[in-house]
Each structure stands twice: as C-alpha cells, then as structure tokens.
Structure 1
Amino acid sequence: MLLARVDDLASLSLESLMNIDVVSVSKRSEPLQQSPAAVFVLDGSSIIRSGVKSIPEALRLIPGLQVARLDSHTYAITARGFNSTVADKLEVLMDGRSLYTPMYSGVFWDAQDTLMEDIERIEVIRGPGAALWGANAVNGVVNIVTKSAANTQGGLEQMGGGGEFEGFAAWRYGGKAGEKGHYRVYAKTTHYTAQEAAGAGDAGDAWNHDQLGFRTDLVLGDRDTLTLQGDMYKERIANSLSSRDEAISGHNLIARWKHRYDDGADTEVQFFYDQTSRDETRTFTEDRNIYDLEVKHRFSIGERQNFVVGGGYHTTNDKIDSLNPGLLQFLPPTRKDETVDVFAQDQIDLIEDKLHLTLGAKYENNDYTGDEFQPSARFSYIVNEQNTVWGAISRAVRIPNRLDHTLEIFGGVLIGDENFTSEEVIAYELGYRTILSSVLSADTAIFYNEYDSLRSFTDDFLNPQTLPVRFVNDGAGRAHGVELTLRWEPAPEVKVLASYVYMDMDIAAKFGSGDVNIEQNDENDPNSKLSLRLDWDIRPNWSLQTRARWVDSLDDLGVDAYTAVDLTSIWRVSPSVELSVVGSNLFDPQHSEFSGGYEVSRSVHGQFTWHF
C-alpha cells in the first residue's frame, strides 16, 4: 500500500497511482484500485497546474461531475442528474465540515473558498454515500481535504489579474508550533469582473470575495493529535436589478482530536461551528448558525473484519426575513432543527486479498420526517493486481428542508407543505478497473437509479386550476448511464486523462398528479459529455496543461451544446518564483452553460507566485 505526498502524485506511475489511499468510501484508508465505488481523486498538484482560482472550477477537472456556470458567481453542480442552481442531491464536505445549507439542501458555491494551493486532494464518489455520510448524499459525495500545516511551511505570495479577474492576491505563512506542532495563516482577495448577458452587454454582476483563515496541527503525545482550523469571509456582489450590492459573510471553526491505540484502532472526535449571513437585496436575508459533533471509532476483529462505527449530533437555527413578501418568504421566519445519527460499516475479507464485502448503514432521526434508515452493500473482487470488479446496492434519501416545508411564493400561489416527506433512491452500480499496460488504465462504471417520492407540484404551476399550489412527493422515475475514464502516459513527461459520460433520465409525475412540468424541472443534465486533459512537462521548468470538454445540449432549458478549451502554461523562473498564464474558453467568445440569460466569456489572466 502506498501513501504518497500529494506533491509527488504527478510523478507516480499508473500502478502506483491506483494504490493511493482514499478515505471517502469507507471513512478509512484503502487503495483506490480496491475501492468498491465510482471514486476519483483529484490531487492538489493537478489543481495548481490548472491555474483555476475557485472550487467550482476545480470540480470541472473531475470526470463524471456536471459543472455549469450561470453567471459570475452562480454554479449548478451535481453528479448523475438533477442539476440546478438549487441542486440538492450532492453532499459536499471540506475537512469534515458539511457545506450544504439546510435552506434547500444544496451549496451556495459563491461562499465556499480556500487557498487553492492548500488543497491536498478532492475525493469524489459518484453514486450514493448515505450509509456513512448521511442524508443528501443521494447521487454523490465531494470531499475536499486540505493539506496539514506541516506541509505548508514557509511563505507564499501570489497576485495576478486579467480576463474575468479585475485582480487577485493571496498570502500564506506557515511555521512551527512547539516541538512537533505546526501552523499556517492565510489571507486572500479576489475581484471578479461581470459576465455577459445573453443579449450582449455587461451583465452587471461583478463581485469580490475576501477571506482569511488558519490551521494548527498539534501533536499531544505519542498517540494523540489535535487540529484547529477556521475561516472568515465576506463578499459583495453587484446586482443590476437593485440599487445596492448583495452582501454575504460568514465564519467557521473546526476542532478535531484523534487518538490511536496500540492495536491499530483509533478514535476521532470532531466538532464544527458554521455561521453564515446573506443579504440578497431583492428577496431575503438569512442568518444561520450550525453546530455539528461527530464521533467515530475504527477497529478490527481478527484479520478479516474492519469496522467503522460512530454517531453524531447536528443542529441548525436560522432567521430568514423577506425583503419582498409578495414575491418570496419563509413562514415562520425562524426555525431550529436537530438531527441525531448513528452509523456502522463492516468490511469483510471473504477471500483474503480477493473478495471483499462491505455492509453499512446509517440511522438518522430528524425534525422533518423522523426516522430514516439508509443501508448499502458493496463488494470488490480483486482478480489480480491489475484488475478489479466491484458492485453496490444502496438506499439514500434527501430529507426535506426549509424550501419544501415553509416557502411561500407570489403571496401564497405556491407554498411549502409540512407533510412533504423524503425523496429516495435505490441505486444499483457495477464497475471495473484495469491497468491495461504500464502506460494505460481504464475505469468504467454503469449505474441504474430508481427514484421515488420526488418533489412535484399539486397543479400546473404556470397555469394552476386550484390554488394554492403545494409541494408534494408525486414524482418518480429512473436514471441510467455509463462512465468511462482513461489514463494514458505515453512518456514520463506526458499524461493524458480522458473521460466520457452517458446518462439518460426519465422523470414523471405519478398518475393523477396535476404537475405537467416535472420533466423540465428535473431533467437539466446533458445526455453525453466528453472531456480531455493533457499535462505536458515540456522542460523541467516549463509545464503545460490543456483541457477540453464537449457538453451536450440541455433541450428543456434551450441551451445549445458547446465545446470549451482551456490552456495553462507555467514557467518556473527559479525554485521559488513561478509565472503562469491561464486561458479559458479560448475558442469561443461566450457561451451559455445553463438557463438564466447569462453567458460565460473567454478569459485570459496572468499570475505571479513567490515561495519564500
């Protein structure tokens, strides 16, 4: 088993890369090649080589994820279907802190940021992960892991601008804390220019994001470690329809203690606090506080059973005030919700070094629907060192949120319903990984998902016959598809990653429902998507990364198919100084990626980086 530093991943062979440990599938380290899930690891070096400046743009580098940009700051991101600006079936975490908002069970992507150079890896599971990660991990899990403070020692200064950026700058410094501990502090600011309106002209959505944070990793003895980390941010977004800017701010704090035992077992306790404030200027203001505690224990019984057990408590309280009650409001404006959960997973070696069975389940009790049980069964069969077959059957749910139960639109034309229950999926998956030669590997997954109790309307929302229109669970359907990823290394200095995704969805209202628009609301994903990434070290001090993607049309949204080509060139002037140029959408002045009337423009920016 190989546990490599992320900075070294770019130089690993294919066989070594497949043995990199991942933790998202089972909450314990296991080789990627043997993992019984559709998992992909994006290492930090690939993010740096790409030159991207935000987490959503980094997610474009991951096969199987659908990333669509609406305007300068809004994204629709999902896996295996149901994409929208309020996509609610993808669990996203950063260093164990869940990033989803209980307002609509999705992610406000404009508020999620960190120093890109501090990301160690991003692990992505396509398919349900609810047996360990809980409700809302319906179609996938994104786990963003940042580097330890020990791996970010010394100083970093960075600045640049051009294209979509009026300018950006970042600073970081790391040092020692005591004899064995380490720390880092950072600050960054990013100023984005406006995108283009579909009818040509400035969209009037320029914005800026300022953030600072810290991380401290302390060694408390031979068996105990303690991590403390936190961030604070604020941003302002121009709104062409309002006389004042949207204002967003927040801060968070994570404390994580880990104890190791002589027999190899370990216990981990994590607590985080997350506070957010949003002022949307025309619709609502939100103040939210989240507290989360999780305890997990990993241990083995004999040589063939590895357990992970644990539980947690999560509470959130909010205050959502309407700025335009005739348009939108949440009633009541304040709410507190609590969730208690326990989970267990047993990984069994049925045939040593050959056949592994993983059984897991999570039980949750929440204030919306009460008890929820989410089990999964996975297997992996290691044919030999080069070939692995895996499969899984899982159940996952998306529990209701503030939008489902308490939203009121257009003065009561559309209202939430406290009887709205959880959406659910039964997912079937089968995958195959193979190292075809020393320079070529392939990873394939096929899936079939059956959805039930999906959110729908009691009537035709655009032409209602009966008011008010309510949210109900009258939607159902299925999705199936295939995902293929190829890695090719024709030379030590050249690496190629290619991927293709085909997916077909069939979502409809159940017999007797008055909702005639559910297909348009839920089927917002391309049938096919093709991507290609080339990393080429032209010289020891000069590297090039080229990225191209073709995305099929979104017919229900009136979005045409498009091709985008990005290019990043990095010149290492010295061991401590780098100059880079990043171009995106180079062969297309502007194109639409989702609905909303905005288009993504061609952009070229430069960057200066100094390590000291």
Structure 2
Amino acid sequence: MQAISRCMKMGRVILALSLILTAMPLLAAEKYDPMSDLSLGELLNLEKFMVTATKHLMPARKAPAIAAVITADEIRNMGAKDINDILRNIPGIGISRPGTLPFDARLEVRGIKTPFSEKVLFLVDGHRTNNAYTGSWLYPLGNLMVENIKRVEIIRGPGSALYGANAFIAVVNVITKSAEDIDGQQVSVGISSFNTQHYTALFSHTSDDFQMSGHLDYFDTDGAASLIEEDALTGKFGSLAPSNTLEFVEKLDFGFKVKYQNFSFNGRGIINEYGPYIGTGRALNDETVLKFNQWLANLSYAKNLTNKLDIKVNFYTDLYDQDTYIEIFPEGFTGKNDKGLIGNPILKNRTLGSEVTTNYVLGNHLLTTGIGYEEVKEYDIGGVNNLANPFAEPTPMTEKFVKAVTRKVGALYLQDMWTITQNDSLTLGIRHDDYGDFGGTTNPRIGYVHEFKNNSTLKFLYGSAFRAPTFNELYIRNNPVVVGNAALKPEKINTYEASLEYPFLRHYTLRLSYFHNDIEDIIRVGTKPAIDKPAPWINVDGKTQVDGAEAELLFKFS
C-alpha cells in the first residue's frame, strides 16, 4: 500500500506539470537553437557545473536535483558580505533575522524554518559542518569569508541518500578556491566607520606535482551601536533603555590547501567573538560575550586503479568550541540589589571520521559506493550561572547542563548513474545510517532527467531524508524550561519533485518546479507536565504535508 501511495503522489506531481508539458511542442517549434552560434569556449563559460548532486562534476541543469550554482563572479557582483547574502538570492530560500543576536539568521526553505536551521546540511568543500549539539552551522560558519569562495552549490530537496543526517530540505556546499583559481598573491585592506577594519589575503604556489593555496580574513568592528528606545524591561527596574546596542564583532578565518600527487590536505579555522546586539532576553545588557570557534581538517588519497575504477580514502576531523557568557537581564532587573541574570554554557564537540568511496564504470552505468564511520564526542561541558539565585555572583555549575556523550555512526551507500540514451538518464541511490544512540535509518532516491533538443531539461525526482535528534534535544538537563528526551526518533521526510528548465531567445531561461513533502516525527518542545516542571522534547504524532511551486525567469546580459 505504501508503494501504491507513493506512485499516486508521483502521479500528482506529473499532473501538476501537464499544462506546461503540453506547451513543449510549441516551444520546440521555434526552430531557434539558443546555443547554435556559440563556440565551444563560450558554451563552457555559460554552463555551470556542480558536484553536490551526485558527488561527480556535471552540468547543474542535468543534475538529478533542483539545483542552483552561484559563482565567484556573481558573488562579487552582488556585493555579498556573508553566506546569507548569497543564499537570499536563491528562489525558494528566505533569510530572516530575529534581531536578538548578531549574525543570527534563520533559513526558510520551501516554507520550513527553525531556530537553528538544522534541517539544512552545510558543507565546506564537501566537509560536514553542522554541530551535534544544536544541529546548526550558523555559528561560526554564517560569517564565512566570501573572497575565497569559488562557487556555492545549493540543492533544494532531500540529500540523505548521499550525505546522511541534516540533508533534510536542502544541501549547501561551499567550494573554496584552490591554487589554480588564485593568481599569485592578493591582499586587500578596508577601513571604515565604527572603528571597522578588514584585512584579507589569498596566496598560491604551484610547482610540478605540488600545489598550495591559502587564505586569511580578519575583521574587527565596534558596530553601529544603534539606539534602542525600549526593550523587554522598559518601565521596569534594571532597564538600560534607552541605550545603544552592543554590535562588536571580531573574526579570524584562515586556512590552507595542499595537494601533492594523489594526496591532498585541507585545513581551516574560524574564530568569532560577538557582542549581544540586544540580547537573548530582548533586554539591553553590557556583559554578554559570545565566542564560537570551529576547526576543520581533511586528509585524502585518490587514485585511478584502472581506466574504469578509482578509489578515494578520506580522513577528517571537526572541532566545535562554544563559550557564551550571556547576561540575560542586567543588574537590578528585580528592583533590588541583584547581580543580573547570568548563564554561561561552555562545551565542545569533536568529530573524527573516515570514508572510502569507489567509482566504477560498467557500460552505461557509473556505480558509486561508499562506506563511512565517525565518532562524535561532546565534552568539556561547564560554565557558570546564577539562574537559581540572581542575588548571588555566578558560580561554576555543580551539574552539567547537558550530558557528556559519544555518538558512533556507521554509513553505507550505493548510487547508480545510468545513461539510458543520449538525452535520458536515471539516477538511483540508497544509503543506510546506523546510530549508536537511536538506531538505523535507510533513505533512497530516484532521479530521471530528460534533455530536449533545444537544451530544455525535464526532471522527475523522489527522495527521502532524515534529521537526527541533537544532543540538546536528547540530553539537555538542569533547565527550568525544557528537558531532553533520550527516546526521540529522527525526523523523516519524503519529497516528490518535478522541474522544467527552458532556455529561449538566447539570454532567457525559464525554470518551473513543483514539490510535495510528507514529514513525520517532527521534533518540538512538548507540554509541561506541571507548572514547576520543564517541558520535554517530543516527536509530534501524525504527518505534515507541504505542497509548493517555484518559478524563476533568468536574463543574462552577457
């Protein structure tokens, strides 16, 4: 019955595009080939390529996914200052800012938005960056250096069949520049108002089989210090309003890439320190300091064993370090001689992992297999607070606010890219992830792509994905508002998509897509069992359905 239901839903997707498809003969009858008078070089410059959809470099319009690619030239021309400026230009993606913390952005993808954007998988050169504590990547990756970006690849839709957890409603992959993309050394210096200074540097070196490149980005500002007339405590004791926000930011982003013959290494460090802007309690304060650091490293070996078989072995590590000293309310907020309300959660997440991938050409099939294992450890949990008694100075926490745990994950996946004809391709994939704390989950995908003679493409897609419960949702404790639930199940989604891309009159491209989502086991905060008891995280019973359409008209000036 489940298979019949899925077929019926795919039928609805096909029906939704039936009116568009009936117009295809008329469109094709124009007799005008938009690429007919272009040279091969011009065609290559117009074509955008991506690896995220299949882990193989291919034209984005032929990829089995609703995909978009933003190039370095486009990033520069749009004046983007961070990754959120780039993503807001993608149809189906919105950016909102709650306004309580600096750089606190929330991604809305196809109508779905959560506080930590944990349903979006964020990759840097294919390296997972979502932390295990909240599932988020926004701190500190939202402030990533843009001058070192070669392109950003975005998939709207599920990606768990290749990438596992968090690839729920979208996958964002930031591809950074290598030695061949950097012309020697590049340095820039910027100084502006609010004591702002910004220094960037890119360098590269190439000789024989050796390539090396690197980047450095340092940014420091006092911020605009905007005047706030009223805050959450206005008219009450302890209010600092009217006063100015604290918007200071200090960021250091540095890293390097090295490639020698079949070996390559990619390392990066991002260090951020922010002011509170207004603050988590929507009350102005003068003591909050937010520190978020992340360190990424990959060591890979890739070799062609035969002309039809290649192998890649990858070892990686990730360290996420959070130290947030938060003054929720300032001194005197009770109207008496209190010390303010202070919370200072400190923790670290460390990931160690490895993955082996093979690619084998068998006739018209490109078979990709992968096996991986990783261990995620949450440790060094501590900090100070006075949440129980705001009249006392903050003291070290006597009990950890979240359990110190180690998560072990094994994964196995298989993908078949089948070139049926010159104009038709079928991609089949499946991945199984096994988690030591909540069990296993299996996620398949199907993607059919047809290319018409006038370079139009038609896609029919199906995929499932999951979002693993975070350590915060499973193990948080000693919190008066919410408590963890070790029995949580992963969130699940089944997505059905159809898309048509049609280039016409040389400079125009029309893109239309339809999607249907079935979501189960959504994780949210439940109901308090009693007034003095915290509410548990729960899985919501039943299904949530989302239907939507996206339309995009592109014009290329040159």
Quickly name the TM-score band, shorter chain normalised.
0.7 to 0.9
Superposition pairs for residues 139-538 of structure 1, below 5 Å?
139-162=169-192, 166-176=196-206, 178-192=207-221, 193-194=223-224, 196=226, 199=229, 202-218=244-260, 220=261, 224=262, 226-239=263-276, 241=285, 243=287, 245-282=289-326, 283=343, 284-302=345-363, 304-319=364-379, 320-324=381-385, 326=387, 332-350=402-420, 352-408=421-477, 410-411=479-480, 413-459=481-527, 467-475=533-541, 476-489=543-556, 491-492=557-558
State the Cα distance separating 1:277 from its structure 2 match. Answer: 1.5
Aligned pairs, how many?
Answer: 470
Cα separation, 2, equivalents of 1:409 and 1:392:
44
Deviations 1:46-81 (Å, cap 9, x if unpaired)? 112223232222222333222223443211124223
CA contact (8 A) 1:42 1:61 kept: no
- Taking the aligned partners of 1:244 and 1:33, their CA distance within structure 2 comes to 47
CA distance in 1, matches of 2:227, 2:66: 37
Post-superposition CA distance 1:473-504 (Å, at most 9, x none): 12531212111222113x43xxxxxxxxxxxx
Q: What is the identity, as a one-letter code, of the residue corresponding to 1:293?
A: S
Contact 1:149/1:217 (8 A) holds in 2: no
Change (3 A) 1:29 1:467: same
CA contact (8 A) 2:83 2:142 kept: yes
CA positional deviation for 1:17? 6.1
Secondary structure at the counterpart of residue 334 of structure 1: coil
Q: C-alpha distance in 2, partners of 1:198/1:14?
A: 53
Q: Quickly say closer, same or farther: Cα 1:154–1:115, change in 2 above 3 A.
A: farther
Q: Do the aligned residues in 1 keep the contact of 2:49 with 2:69 (CA within 8 Å)?
A: no
Aligned partners of 1:368 and 1:400 also within 8 Å = no
Q: Output the CA distance in 2 between the equivalents of 1:69 and 1:441.
A: 31
Conserved in 2, the CA contact under 8 Å of 1:345 and 1:361?
Answer: yes
Cα deviation, residue 380, structure 1:
0.9
Contact in 2 for aligned 1:160/1:169 (Cα 8 Å): yes
Q: 1:38 to 1:330 in 2, by over 3 A?
A: farther
Cα displacement string for residues 297-324 of structure 1 (whole angstroms, at most 9, x for unaligned residues): 112111x211111011121111232533
| Distance of 2:498 and 2:287 partners within structure 1 | 53
User: How far 1:357 sits from its partner (Å)?
Assistant: 1.5
Change (3 A) 1:140 1:404: same
Shift of 1:14: 9.3
Matches within 5 A, 1:78-157: 78-111=108-141, 113-157=143-187
Match for residue 37 of structure 1 among 65, 72, 79: 65
Larger Rg computed on CA atoms: 2
Q: Distance in 1 between matches of 2:521 and 2:151?
A: 35
CA distance in 1 between partners of 2:146 and 2:417 (Å): 34
1:65 equivalenced with 2:102 (yes/no): no
Q: Which is further off, 80-89 or 287-296?
A: 80-89
Deviates more, 1:375-384 or 1:123-132: 375-384
- The CA RMSD measured in Å over matched residues stands at 2.7
AA aligned opposite 1:488 = F
Deviation for aligned residue 1:286 = 1.3
What code does the residue aligned with 1:398 have?
R
One-letter amino acid of the structure 1 residue matched with residue 271 of structure 2: K
TM-superposed CA distance for 1:446, in Å, is: 0.9
Name the counterpart of 2:234.
none
> In 2 relative to 1, CA 322–448 (structure 1 residues): closer, same or farther, beyond 3 Å?
farther
How far the C-alpha of 1:291 sits from its partner, in A, is 1.3
- Give, in whole Å, the separation in 1 of the partners of 2:448 and 2:45: 21
SS of aligned partner of 2:325: coil
After TM superposition, the structure 1 = structure 2 runs for residues 588-607 of structure 1, keeping only pairs within 5 Å, are none
- Structure 1 residues 12 and 486: CA distance shift in structure 2, 3 A: farther
Which residue identity lines up with residue 368 of structure 2 in the other structure?
Answer: V
Cα distance in 2, alignment partners of residues 152 and 14 from structure 1: 22
Counterpart of 1:211 in structure 2: which amino acid?
A: D
Contact kept in structure 1, 2:145 and 2:253, CA below 8 Å: no
Hey, what's the Cα distance between the residues in 2 that align with 1:274 and 1:467? 36
Please tell me whether the aligned partners of residues 153 and 175 of structure 1 are also in contact (alpha carbons under 8 angstroms): no
Q: Find the residue that maps to 2:385 and give its secondary structure.
A: coil
Q: What's the CA shift for 1:472?
A: 1.3
User: Per the alignment, do residues 377 and 253 of structure 1 end up closer, same or farther by CA in structure 2, a change over 3 Å counting?
Assistant: same
Cα offset, 1:326, TM superposition:
4.4
Paired with 2:165 and 2:157, the residues of 1 have a C-alpha distance of: 13
Report the equivalent of 1:24.
52
Q: How has the CA–CA distance of structure 1 residues 474 and 69 changed in structure 2, closer, same or farther, with 3 Å as cutoff?
A: closer
Greater mean alpha carbon deviation, residues 435-444 or residues 93-102: 435-444
Structure (1/2) with the larger strand percentage? 1
Task: After TM superposition, give the deviation of residue 151 of structure 1 in Å.
Answer: 2.1
**Residues 259, 325 of structure 1: alpha-carbon distance in 2 compared, 3 angstrom cutoff:** farther
Shift of 1:15: 6.0
Report the Cα distance in structure 2 between the residues aligned to 1:263 and 1:276, rounded to whole angstroms: 40
CA distance in structure 2 between the aligned counterparts of 1:444 and 1:265, rounded to whole angstroms: 37
Residue 349 of structure 1: how far off its partner (Å): 2.5
Q: Would the alpha carbon gap of residues 230 and 113 (structure 1) be closer, same or farther in structure 2, given more than 3 Å must change?
A: farther
Tell me the secondary structure at the aligned position of residue 422 of structure 2: coil
Q: 1:292 to 1:335 in 2, by over 3 A?
A: same
Distance in 2 (alpha carbons) for counterparts of 1:27 and 1:59: 21
- Matched letter for residue 30 of structure 1: M
TM-aligned CA distance change 1:198 to 1:269, over 3 Å? farther
Amino acid aligned to 1:55: I
How far did 1:355 drift?
2.3
Query: Does the 8 Å contact 2:216/2:253 carry over to 1?
Result: yes
Give 1:465 shift. 6.3
Q: Distance in 1 between matches of 2:108 and 2:356?
A: 28
Native 8 Å contact 1:268 1:296 kept in 2: yes
Once the two structures are TM-superposed, the CA of residue 109 in structure 1 deviates from its matched residue by 3.4
Per the alignment, do residues 206 and 231 of structure 1 end up closer, same or farther by CA in structure 2, a change over 3 Å counting?
same
Output the amino acid matched with 1:297. Answer: T
Change (3 A) 1:244 1:449: closer
